[in-house]
Amino acid sequence: MEMKQKAISVKSLQKQIEQLNNRLVQSERINVSGIMLSAIVHDINRALTNILGTAGIRLLEETIDDSVREDFERIKLSAQTCREIINNLISFVKTEFRLTKTDIHKLIDLCVDLCQYQLVSSKIEVVRNYDKNIPLVNISMSDMQHAIINLILNSVDAVSENGKVMISTDYLKKSKKITITVSDNGGGIPRKNIPNIFIQFFTTKSQRMGLGLTIADRIIKKHNGFIDVKSEINKGSSFKITLPI
């Protein structure tokens, strides 16, 4: 090899090493901030549990004034919103992903229970329509729970009082798939927004972060599945998760 060519290849190797080094420093930085974020999240969650617990206990008192009750309800709802945001942040840094054979209907019931406060306070009816033939599904339970809750909470945000959220499942035996559909009779999604709703930080709400669908989509893709959306203005929206089994 000629001297000039050798010099060029050494230079390009040096450049590659430099780039690799930079990437390593970057990933260590991400790792450290991930650990820090977990610690912060843990402490914030503990504080939120205190706020939610205290507000919850005061709300059980029958003798408190209506205006005080309203204040505590607002405190409770805001603390729950903070928890939702925090949980979304956790899933950005979390790397653990363990699959377990799961009864999907039990998991959906748990998701509905965890959204009970939001559902009850907005007087939303939940209609479940389960396909009893669904076999156990291999999923990461905490992640799938997170994805389904994000869809339910979006429906809660979309429907007005006395709205309806429908959750149904289907077993597609031939294609070895299952589907979980969360639909609502809310305001629907304008057609021009549909391409954006899965993009991180896209939101049309003043007090939300726009991470819910990004995370749900990521979780479902990690399970080798996908999400379909159908929506009609003033009629409602429907999010269908398809998972292989």
Ligand X SMILES: Nc1ncnc2c1ncn2[C@@H]1O[C@H](COP(=O)(O)OP(=O)(O)O)[C@@H](O)[C@H]1O
| Binding-site ranges for ligand X (CB under 6 A) | 150, 154-155, 158, 184, 186-189, 193, 197, 202-205, 208-214, 237
Question: In angstroms, what is the minimal distance from the CB of 147 to Mg ion?
Answer: 11
> Is 59:69 a contact under the CB 8 Å cutoff?
yes
Residue number closest to ligand X, CB atom = 212
Q: Which is nearer to ligand X, 134 or 188 (CB)?
A: 188
Question: What is the spatial distance between Cα 54 and Cα 60, in angstroms, rounded to a whole number?
Answer: 10
Q: Report the distance separating Cα 146 and Cα 187, nearest Å.
A: 23
**Rounded to an integer, what distance in angstroms lies between the CA atom of residue 31 and that of residue 39?**
13
List binders of Mg ion among 96-155 (CB under 5 A): 154
User: Which is closer to ligand X, CB of 145 or CB of 245?
Assistant: 145
Number of helical H runs and strand E runs in the chain: 6, 7
The binder of 218, among ligand X, Mg ion, none, by C-beta within 5 to 8 A per type, is none
Burial class (CB in 10 A: 0-12, 13-18, 19+), 198: middle
Q: Go through the chain and tell me how many residues it has.
A: 245
Give how far the C-alpha of residue 62 lies from the chain's centroid of Cα atoms, to the nearest Å: 35
Under the criterion CB under 5 A, does residue 212 sit at the interface with Mg ion? yes
By a kind-dependent CB cut-off of 5 to 8 A, residue 78 interacts, out of ligand X, Mg ion, none, with none
CB 114 to ligand X: min, Å: 16
CB of 234 to ligand X, least distance (A): 11
* Beta carbon of residue 34, minimum distance to ligand X (angstroms, whole number): 22
Nearer to ligand X, 134 or 189 (CB): 189
Task: Give Cβ neighbours of residue 227 (< 8 Å, ≥ 6 apart).
Answer: 198, 213, 216, 217, 220, 239, 240, 241, 242
Q: Does 188 bind Mg ion (CB under 5 A)?
A: no
Least Cβ distance, residue 179 to ligand X (angstroms) = 17
**Would you count residue 186 as binding Mg ion (CB under 5 A)?**
no
Query: Residues in contact with Mg ion, total (CB under 5 A)?
Result: 2
Q: Which does 204 bind (CB under 5 to 8 A by kind): ligand X, Mg ion, none?
A: ligand X
Shortest CB 68 distance to ligand X, Å: 30
Residue 129 sits at φ, ψ, to 5 deg, of -135, 90
16/143 Cα distance (integer angstroms): 37
Structure tokens at 157: 């945000």
Q: Residue number with the shortest CB distance to Mg ion?
A: 212
- The footprint of Mg ion on residues 147-176 (CB under 5 A) is 154
Residues contributing to the site for Mg ion (CB under 5 A) = 154, 212
